[in-house]
């Protein structure tokens, strides 16, 4: 019963959508330990709304500003520390969503998301999206995880595949599993279920 972490190569690459698709495909639960920004429109609410069997675990930390967690926490008068993020006792397979990318800071003392990933010892799915500069961002993310000996479950492309980019990824990481989900312009339980079905078919 492996649980998985979902991280991205940066912001706005579709981590929450991919997390919802994985929850649907794996019949998994969902946990996002830090939620920052509009607390009336949480990522956990998105996942809860568009999946059919997913239970959402409450976030450890809710922050009121749509900023990097270290600054959002400072503005809220909170200090984030590693011991606040021990893994809960999951009753079933769970998808854990990070924020931003692997080097997003959690405090001013050097704690970053990648430190939590290393602490949790769970395989990580990296979400990428093809745009000018995405090869650099993707390779930096994969190399950062590998340097910490954090297992990489696979690279998930949100949107259309780009064979030229993927050849580069596999020249650096020959065993890297690359899958895709279609970029969704409209969200519904049906569209998430369809994307989940397409993702499952790529596992064969």
128: pLDDT confidence band, cut at 50, 70 and 90? very high
> How crowded is residue 39: how many other Cβ atoms within 10 Å of its Cβ?
12
3-state SS assignment for residue 57: strand
For residue 89, is pLDDT > 90? no
pLDDT category at 1 given cuts 50, 70, 90 is low
* Residue 132 predicted with pLDDT over 70: yes
User: Which residue has better confidence, 53 or 115?
Assistant: 115
pLDDT tens column, 144-189 = 999 999 999 999 999 998 999 999 999 999 999 999 999 998 999 9
What pLDDT, on the 0 to 100 scale, is given for residue 185? 86
CA-closest candidate to residue 8, choices 182, 137, 94, 123:
137
Q: Which of 104, 85, 107, 87 lies closest to 95 in space, CA to CA?
A: 87
Q: Name the H helices within the chain.
A: 15-26, 43-50, 69-75, 113-120, 134-147, 163-172, 189-201
pLDDT in tens, 59-86: 999 999 999 999 999 999 999 999 999 9
pLDDT of residue 126: 98
pLDDT digits (tens, 9 = 90+) for 180-195: 999 998 999 999 999 9
**Residue whose C-alpha is closest to residue 16's, from 84, 100, 93, 89:** 100
Per-residue pLDDT, 204: 67
HSE-CB at 122 with a 13 A cutoff on CA atoms is: 24
Please give the model's pTM, rounded to 2 decimal places.
Answer: 0.95
DSSP 183: P
Rounded Cα distance, 76 and 95, in Å: 27
Q: Which residues are catalytic?
A: 32
User: CATH top-level class for 4-201?
Assistant: alpha beta
Instruction: Say what the pLDDT of residue 41 is.
Output: 82
| Per-residue pLDDT tens digits for 11-65 | 889 999 999 999 999 999 999 999 998 887 889 999 999 999 899 999 999 999 9
């Amino acid at each position: 019963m492996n649980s998985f972490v979902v991280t991205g190569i940066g912001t706005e690459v579709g981590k929450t959508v991919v997390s919802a698709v994985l929850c649907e495909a794996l019949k998994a639960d969902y946990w996002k330990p830090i939620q920052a920004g509009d607390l009336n429109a949480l990522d956990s609410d998105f996942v809860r709304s568009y999946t059919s069997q997913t239970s959402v675990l409450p976030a450890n930390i809710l922050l009121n500003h749509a900023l990097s967690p270290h600054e959002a926490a400072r503005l809220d008068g909170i200090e984030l520390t590693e011991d606040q993020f021990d893994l809960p006792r999951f009753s079933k397979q769970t998808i854990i969503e990070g924020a931003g990318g692997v080097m997003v800071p959690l405090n001013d003392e050097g704690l970053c998301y990648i430190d939590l990933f290393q602490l949790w010892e769970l395989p990580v799915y990296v979400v990428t999206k093809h745009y000018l500069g995405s090869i650099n961002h993707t390779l930096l993310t994969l190399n950062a995880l590998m340097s910490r000996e954090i297992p990489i479950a696979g690279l998930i492309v949100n949107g259309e595949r780009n064979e030229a980019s993927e050849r580069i990824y596999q020249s650096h990481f020959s065993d890297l599993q690359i899958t895709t989900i279609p970029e969704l312009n409209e969200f519904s339980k049906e569209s998430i279920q369809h994307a989940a079905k397409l993702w499952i078919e790529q596992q064969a």
